[in-house]
Amino acid sequence: MNILSAIYKELLVLTRDRAGLAVLYIMPLTLIILMALIQDAPFRDYKDTHIPVLFVDQDNGQLSALISEKLSETGMFSLVRADSSHFANDKYIQLVADGSYKAAIVVKEKASSQFDRKLRIRIEKSFNSFAAVKSAYPDPLPADDDIQIVWDPVIKKSFKDGLTTALNSILIGYQADKTLAMVEDRLRRMSGDDKLTMSNTPLIEVKQRETSEPDHALYALNSVQHNVPAWAIFGIFFMVIPLAGNIIKEREQKTMLRLHLIPGSIQVVLLGKILTYLFVAVTQFVLVVLAGKYLMPLLGLPALYTGDNWAAISLVVMALGLAAAGYGVFVGTLFNTTYQASTFGAVSIVILAAIGGIWIPIFIMPEIVQKLSLLSPLSWGMKAFNTIFLRGSGIETVYWEILLLSGFAIVMFAGSFLWEKNKN
Amino acid sequence: MIAAVEISGVVKKYPKTVMPVLKGISLEIEKGECLGLLGPNGAGKTTLISIIAGLLKPDEGSVHIFGKKPESMGRKIGLVPQEIALYPSLTARENLNYFGRMYGLGKKELASGINFWLEELGLEAHAGKRVEDYSGGMKRRLNLIVALMHSPDLLILDEPTVGIDIHSKMVILEQLQRLNKAGMTMLYTSHQFDEAEKICNRIVILDRGQVCWNGECSYFNKLYGKADLEQLFVEITGRELRD
């Protein structure tokens, strides 16, 4: 009964503190919306963002048509065909230089015919050794620079690599197809068999597969998928400030002094606080997940995918809530004034969040920060949620993170107890 | 007969102080007695009260409350701290309910106790009001009720009437006199000598961690021939400021 009274009192105090409620509920909600919107573009790769590329076709031949068709098919680039006015005075270069386009692909005049001519010479030269009368062919055949890419210097390397790889792949395919067709033609002429064909179907191919269920593989890491769990964790840990403030205020108001007189009541009071803030953590999480699932699509963002491992999700949320409550109790015990506690609490959480992969995913951080992130309880929570949401895993995969968070909570509670005991 | 409070050779030193705050205090409070503990700032009154209440441990010496260690007597002790030890955002009834529950009072006992004390101290009409909206006098009265909810055998009061209006002070002092007559043992600290004279049977003056005077109020006047305790206090403790 006492514990229920303690929880009831905490809930009353909490619900009557509007600023505290705003910190606990409105702040994480605002953060997930803002951060998901802000980080939407950086999170999309060039495949999703369709960066515009100017296609300067001075060739108007088979090769330029194939390049245009194949690049468009990839869906990675948004090709904008340059009109003839862009050709004069290299105007397309200015268009890239002033940032109108991130790149321009230039297929020079007669590129197709030049290529055909050179390939024919190469093949004829190869077959020349079988001929009774030998012909003279130029040797070697130089590669042309009939295809050029003009880059905007601020373009991301990944985009550069993507476009170059795609273009090279088209050219290699084009050269292979053309070579085969010419060889086939030459062999027909040599053998007099009009039906002679050479198959060009692939004899080896790359098979792609995901390590998780097909459903989960559909939800790659995007802005919503990163920011909703990230800022939910941040919001849960931000409870440190109201919780530590609550403990210090009780000490300053001397209500804690009264309770110290009653044997066993301090434990009940602390348990009441921990359970109340655990409830806050769970309701915070439910709120941001609902926003992720139903509000984000209304803002033009993808919906949050959580999977259906609710047991694992619940355990991670509880462990996060306990860890945050433990840290809050520790900060509240360690400091004497609410100013000290809120300053230290806020700064320490921001640092733990930064190294814990809340702002940007850990895998894109420098190696030294990646190592540091192992120390942040926020990164343990983040790793657990990514594992459950994106890889479709359950408790058997995230038990280590749950144990780490629970262990952190125990260390914080024990530290608070020892500090308080030593202080008295 | 066992004394309500038995203090024997208590020494207490804080880590940051050079001299002990309490230098071998020995004192007894009889059952049903109201002892006034007076002294200038820094005399060691609050430290002594904290040790009696079991909130601090003495470095030397011992304290017994009704023959037992103070730590185990929490439920027998009522403490009225100098500060308003209440939750400002809760109503008077919510505060009393919470502290009553923490003292382990049952639902019925608690409800009747709350109504009784709110009426006795003139707060029944304001029971549903938040404490933050109370006047200073109302807060002081509620502060006292919280300490009385569980019917303690020993009531420790640390300047319970500081900074309040005359009417609230009168109500509080009348209640304390009534409770003392009913047999409740009290330890009362104050800077208001008229209050101490009014409700205490005996006065102890503490200065620089030592007992400077211990005797009945009436005996003071007889012995020193002074007009009031305030003059006597200055004579005993000196004119030096204790900042």
Q: Is B41 on the interface with A (CB under 8 A)?
A: no
* A248 CA: distance to closest CA in chain B (Å): 13
Distance (Å) from the C-alpha of residue A9 to the closest C-alpha of chain B? 7
The secondary structure of chain A, three-state, reads CHHHHHHHHHHHHHHCCHHHHHHHHHHHHHHHHHHHHHCHHHHCCHHHHCEEEEEEECCCCHHHHHHHHHHHHHCCEEEEECCHHHCHHHHHHHHHHCCCCCEEEEECCCHHHHHHHHHHHHHHHHHHHHCCCCCCCCCCCCCCCCEEEEECCCCCHHHHHHHHHHHHHHHHHHHHHHHHHHHHHHHHHHHCCCCCCCCCCCCCCCCCCCCCCHHHHCCCCCHHHHHHHHHHHHHHHCCHHHHHHHHHHHHHHCHHHHHHHCCCHHHHHHHHHHHHHHHHHHHHHHHHHHHHHHHHHHHCCCCCCCCCCHHHHHHHHHHHHHHHHHHHHHHHHHCCCHHHHHHHHHHHHHHHHHHCCCCCCHHHCCHHHHHHHCCCHHHHHHHHHHHHHHHCCCHHHHHHHHHHHHHHHHHHHHHHHHHHHHHC
* Residue of A316, A333, A212 whose CA lies nearest to A269: A333
For B51, name the nearest residue in chain A, comparing CA atoms only: A261
A195/B contact by beta carbon, under 8 A: no
Contact: B83, A253; criterion CB under 8 Å? yes
Contact assignment for B101 to A258 by CB distance below 8 Å: no
Would the pLDDT of B72 be above 50? Answer: yes
Spacing of C-alpha A245 from chain mean position? 35
Q: Does A257 touch chain B (CB under 8 A)?
A: yes
Tell me the residues of chain B between 100 and 159 that have a Cβ less than 8 Å away from chain A.
101-104, 130, 146-147
CA distance A268 to chain B (A): 8
Local confidence pLDDT in tens for the 424 residues of chain A: 589 999 999 999 999 988 888 888 998 899 899 988 888 877 765 455 667 889 999 999 999 999 999 988 887 788 888 887 777 767 888 888 888 888 899 999 889 998 888 888 888 888 877 766 666 666 666 677 889 999 888 777 888 888 899 999 999 999 999 999 888 888 888 888 887 787 777 788 888 776 665 555 445 678 898 899 999 999 999 999 999 999 999 988 889 888 888 877 888 899 999 999 999 999 999 999 999 999 999 998 889 988 889 999 999 999 999 999 999 999 999 999 999 999 999 999 999 999 999 988 888 788 898 899 999 999 999 999 988 988 778 888 899 999 999 999 999 999 998 888 777 6
Residues of chain B neighbouring A1 (CB-CB closer than 8 A):
101
For A283, the token pair is 């309701």
Q: Which of A2, A254, A257 sits opposite B102 (nearest CB)?
A: A2
| Residue A371 CB neighbours (<10 A) | 11
Distance to chain B for A295, nearest Cα, Å:
34
Q: Quick check: B81 and A257 CB within 8 A?
A: yes
Contacts of A424 in chain B (CB under 8 A): 56-57
Closest-CA distance, B79 to chain A, in angstroms, reads: 7
Out of A5, A13, A253, whose CB is closest to B101? A5
Q: Which residues of chain A does B89 touch, with a Cβ-Cβ cutoff of 8 Å?
A: 12-13, 16-17
**Closest Cα partner for A256 from A4, A6, A3, A14?**
A6
B102/A260 touch (CB, cutoff 8 Å), yes or no = no
Q: For A260, which of B55, B57, B98 is closest by C-beta distance? A: B55
Task: Determine the distance in angstroms separating the CA of A262 from the nearest CA of chain B, rounded to an integer.
Answer: 5
The complex scores an ipTM of 0.84
pTM over 0.90: no
Which residues in B lie closer than 8 A to residue A5 (C-beta atoms)? 97-98, 101-102
Cβ-defined contact of B94 to A6 (cutoff 8 Å): no
A37, A227 contact by CB (below 8 A)? no
B85, A253: Cβ pair inside 8 Å?
A: yes
